[in-house]
Amino acid sequence: MSDAKILDAKIPEGPVQDKWTSHKFNMKLVNPANKRKHTVIVVGTGLAGASAAASLGELGYNVLNFCIQDSPRRAHSVAAQGGINAAKNYQNDGDSVYRLFYDTVKGGDFRAREANVHRLAEVSTSIIDQCAAQGVPFAREYGGTLANRSFGGAQVSRTFYARGQTGQQLLLGAYGALMRQVEAGSVKLFPRREMLDLVKVDDLARGIICRNLVSGELERYAADAVLLCTGGYSTVFYLSTNAVNCNATAAWRCYKRGAYFANPCFTQIHPTCIPRMGETQSKLTLMSESLRNDGRVWVPLKKGDDRKPSDIPENERDYYLETKYPAFGNLVPRDIASRSAKEVCDEGRGVGPTGYAVYLDFGDAINRLGKEAIRQRYGNLFSMYHEITGDDPYETPMMIYPAPHYTMGGLWVDYNLMTTVDGLFALGEANFSDHGSNRLGASALMQGLSDGYFVIPYTLGNYIASTSMKAVDTDAPEFDQVEKEVQEYIDNLMSMDGDKTADEYHRQLGNIMIDKVGMSRDTEGLNWALEEIPKIREEFWKNLRIPGDAKDYNKELEKAGRVADFLELGELMARDALERNESCGGHFRVESQDEEGEAKRDDENYCHAAAWRYLGLGDTPELVKEPLHYENVIPSTRSYK
């Protein structure tokens, strides 16, 4: 590994407040009449993808938009419950762009790029305006103005929400904008297509190879730029809060074509999920973090106390977050809440059938505000919980446990959201840029929409206007070559006729990942994972069974391709986690903690983004660093006490 190579993020000069403004002015523009001559591929239709495709279509580009779902409206952004942050300061409680910027950098534990975060905070206000204008039914006050709540770790009320379905409503807003462009003819929609590879011509990203998930045929599409808006990779853990079809395949295949993958070990384990119930469980259900506003987290003081929660008197309960973090209490950032839950459970004080759960108690809130007020705020979450577990949270405390939820890592991008492959951009959760090592609640929606509505329309124009490229169509030999490779890959997958299903390998990998590369990591475990994962991968490529035909609707083939990639990505995550011998944000290295067991960051050695460059299967990838500079928010030890 060479440390000599350093990535240039192309951050504009000037004070952080002025960077985006001056950059917008300095970037080149594409002549309005010429935009329709440029084709842009957008992969994914979540908040980032739909907003980018719609906005680029509005500008006049010829957009090709792909998604694996049957409709763009189903992208996993739809499942975000809690809300979206914006520095509107409508509540007059001291919020500002700078404070949102500050909170996000600090919340990310000083592993995010300042310039990106500031831009995110700047455009956050426009996002709310845009979404309100689209008719997103945000919660309102009686006077008709927008309502806000305080959310996960924030001391100001800056979170906008639409009941517990904020992601759905924002996505439907973006989807509406997208469908409007489809109707206008500027966006062409390709649902049920999975991007399986990137086609480069003269080292520029110029197209993709997709599998039509209905016919099984491979399809080629050419363009002047490719935008990956394909989300995160939490499903590498098998059990996560993500949708079962979420995957890293598009991003991973781009990694193998030269896009660096940054900070893969930065994953977020969400503190408030419904605990695991059984062996065949296929996913974990998230309960919105907003629940922590009114719910109090506790476990019994005594180990192995298996009394009913109502039988445990107040003085035998340990409200561990309130005691340990008096200033923030139940609202500490996600990583702290998650790790604290794991700690008390590891001590043997966990509750529920597996002992891996803690109580989230609404008793006090119900007494204080009344059942009706609680129903107003959390009605749908409570009924969801009731459905899944059979317990009524109005009567008995909820049980929660952390679950993989979001991945801060992703393809490395510069300030313009371009990866290390020219012409290949990554937006939203698919990139690594804005959340550092830990994402604050209600910031994912903000980032997806920021990238799609307000960043890429400018930076893509600059790329197109300043890059000379020849005309390319899908008959180019580069397309022949890549399609051939994809076909061989599929043939290999189909040819094994082994006796294990893709899901079985996925579960096997997931167990290793959650155990060794999950909430806390240590050298021994990571090394073990680095040995085990290749073994599973090897077996996978010998003993996989995919029924049916590749030229047909074939869910097992889809899964197999994704699991194959996870089996490589999982290894990279472990490698990255091992390499980063510090604790920061969601990445907790057992070796790096203070006397009280709090995470210890190492700014001297690790104040960088770790980007990995693919060198071939089986070869150790090269680590390339992007040093991070903090000119505004001076790194300090995060303290939520």
Q: Which of 153, 176, 149, 152 is nearest to 162 (CA)?
A: 149
437 near other proteins (CB under 8 A): no
Burial class (CB in 10 A: 0-12, 13-18, 19+), 367: exposed
55 near other proteins (CB under 8 A): yes
Helices 456-466 + 47-59 axis angle, to 10: 60
Among 62, 85, 157, 169, binds other proteins (CB under 8 A): 169
Span interacting with other proteins, options 138-146, 151-159, 223-231, 531-539, rule CB under 8 A: 138-146
25 near other proteins (CB under 8 A): no
Contact 62, 225 (CB under 8 A): no
Q: Which two tokens stand for residue 192?
A: 């049920």
Q: Which of 161, 92, 95, 93 is nearest to 128 (CA)?
A: 161
29 near other proteins (CB under 8 A): no
**Rule CB under 8 A: which of 478-537 touch other proteins?**
499, 501, 503-504
Query: Whole-number minimum distance, CB 85 to other proteins, in Å?
Result: 14
Comparing CB distances to other proteins, the nearer of 285 and 487 is 285
Active-site residue (options: 158, 193, 334, 580): 334
For other proteins, how many residues bind (rule: CB under 8 A)? Answer: 81
How far apart CA 358 and CA 379 sit, in angstroms, is 21
| SS3 (DSSP) at 6 | strand
**Facing residues of 64 across strands?**
41, 188
Comparing CB distances to other proteins, the nearer of 157 and 168 is 168
Number of CB atoms found within 10 A of residue 32's CB: 9
Q: Which two tokens stand for residue 132?
A: 């309100």
**Rule CB under 8 A: which of 79-108 touch other proteins?**
79, 88, 90
**Rule CB under 8 A: which of 360-399 touch other proteins?**
384, 387-388, 390
Comparing CB distances to other proteins, the nearer of 319 and 553 is 553
634 near other proteins (CB under 8 A): no
Span interacting with other proteins, options 70-78, 401-409, 510-518, 628-636, rule CB under 8 A: 70-78
72 near other proteins (CB under 8 A): yes
Residue 198 DSSP code: E
**Rule CB under 8 A: which of 172-191 touch other proteins?**
172-173, 175-177, 179-180, 182-183, 189, 191
Among 1, 6, 214, 301, binds other proteins (CB under 8 A): 214
| SS3 (DSSP) at 197 | strand
Among 97, 128, 332, 440, binds other proteins (CB under 8 A): 128
In this structure, what are the phi and psi dihedrals at residue 220, rounded to the nearest 5 degrees? -115, 140
Among 27, 132, 469, 550, binds other proteins (CB under 8 A): 132
**Rule CB under 8 A: which of 555-574 touch other proteins?**
555-556
Comparing CB distances to other proteins, the nearer of 101 and 161 is 161
Size (the chain), residues: 641
How far apart CA 640 and CA 635 sit, in angstroms, is 15
Query: Whole-number minimum distance, CB 156 to other proteins, in Å?
Result: 17
Count CA within 13 A, CB hemisphere, residue 615.
11
Query: Whole-number minimum distance, CB 219 to other proteins, in Å?
Result: 17
Does 334 participate in catalysis according to the annotation? yes
48 near other proteins (CB under 8 A): no
Q: Which of 68, 72, 65, 51 is nearest to 177 (CA)?
A: 51
272 near other proteins (CB under 8 A): no
Comparing CB distances to other proteins, the nearer of 6 and 277 is 277
For residue 152, give every residue at least 6 positions away whose Cβ sits within 8 Å of its Cβ, in sequence order, or none. Answer: 82, 289, 290, 292, 331, 333, 334, 440, 441, 442
Residues forming the active site: 334
